[in-house]
Amino acid sequence: MLGLKLPTDPRWVNIVEKNIEDILTDHAFCEQKAASTAISLIVSFPEYTELVQEMTALVKEEISHFKMVHDKIIERGWTLGRDRRDDYVIELLKFFPKGGSRTTQLVHRLLYAALIEARSCERFRLLSEELQDKELAKFYRNLMVSEANHYTMFLGFARKYGEKKEVDAKWQELLVYESEIMSNLGKKETIHG
């Protein structure tokens, strides 16, 4: 599914289930970061008209996801906690060299976004299938569908703006690199942990 090379160990859901409050806070900030990424793509690449249009729509959608998660936190009588560092994202960024042409930089940022969407989607699917809390399982099922569309959109833009063969090769390399990061994760109550 989604081209990912290493599926998440389903036991990760058992860890999550013991700390729903923490996963919801972490998840809320993932949605905020997705909205921020879309805004920063608009700022960095304003001449890519179609991208700017799609990113504008995406900002709204991601911030609405943030609100959905925030509402869930309030519903359960909790308060949004502080954001914590995301080791997965830090490791992922190391894959991309600094510099290169403007197109290369754009392609890298699109592939990075595509991968985070793909992994988030896979994690949401697992939550939707394995959570004992059926109400929350349904919530994750709905979100899973949107994130799958985001993954294909980002990958589509990378292929459109970059050289397709090179982009596909880079994507495959990135998937292998990501599976190595993932092999050390799956042990924390965070969306990517």
CA–CA separation, 86 and 123 (whole Å)? 15
Which run of H or E residues covers position 130?
A: helix 102-130
Does 119 engage in binding with Fe ion (CB under 5 A)? no
Q: Which is nearer to Fe ion, 28 or 181 (CB)?
A: 28
CB atoms within 10 A of CB 162: 20
Contact 72, 139 (CB under 8 A): yes
The residue within the footprint of Fe ion, chosen from 27, 70, 123, 150 (CB under 5 A), is 150
> Which residue stretch of 14-22, 25-33, 67-75, 88-96 sits at the interface with Fe ion (rule: CB under 5 A)?
25-33
Q: How far is the CB of 182 from Fe ion (least distance, A)?
A: 19
Instruction: Supply 104's token pair.
Output: 């290369």
Hey, is 45 helix, strand or coil? coil
Query: How far apart, in Å, do the first and last CA atoms of the chain sit?
Result: 19
Q: Which is nearer to Fe ion, 56 or 183 (CB)?
A: 56
Q: How far is the CB of 18 from Fe ion (least distance, A)?
A: 24
> Which residue stretch of 15-23, 39-47, 102-110, 111-119 sits at the interface with Fe ion (rule: CB under 5 A)?
111-119
Q: How far is the CB of 124 from Fe ion (least distance, A)?
A: 9
CA–CA separation, 24 and 181 (whole Å)? 23
Does 70 engage in binding with Fe ion (CB under 5 A)? no
Does 153 engage in binding with Fe ion (CB under 5 A)? no
Q: Which is nearer to Fe ion, 26 or 117 (CB)?
A: 117
Q: Tell me which amino acid residue 129 is.
A: E
Binding mask 120-139 for Fe ion (x = CB under 5 A): --------------------
Does 114 engage in binding with Fe ion (CB under 5 A)? no
Does 34 engage in binding with Fe ion (CB under 5 A)? yes
The residue within the footprint of Fe ion, chosen from 65, 119, 159, 188 (CB under 5 A), is 65
Instruction: Supply 79's token pair.
Output: 């308060």
Which run of H or E residues covers position 64?
A: helix 49-75
Q: Measuring CA to CA, which residue among 61, 87, 85 is closest to residue 181?
A: 87
Positions in the binding site for Fe ion (CB under 5 A): 31, 34, 62, 65, 117, 147, 150
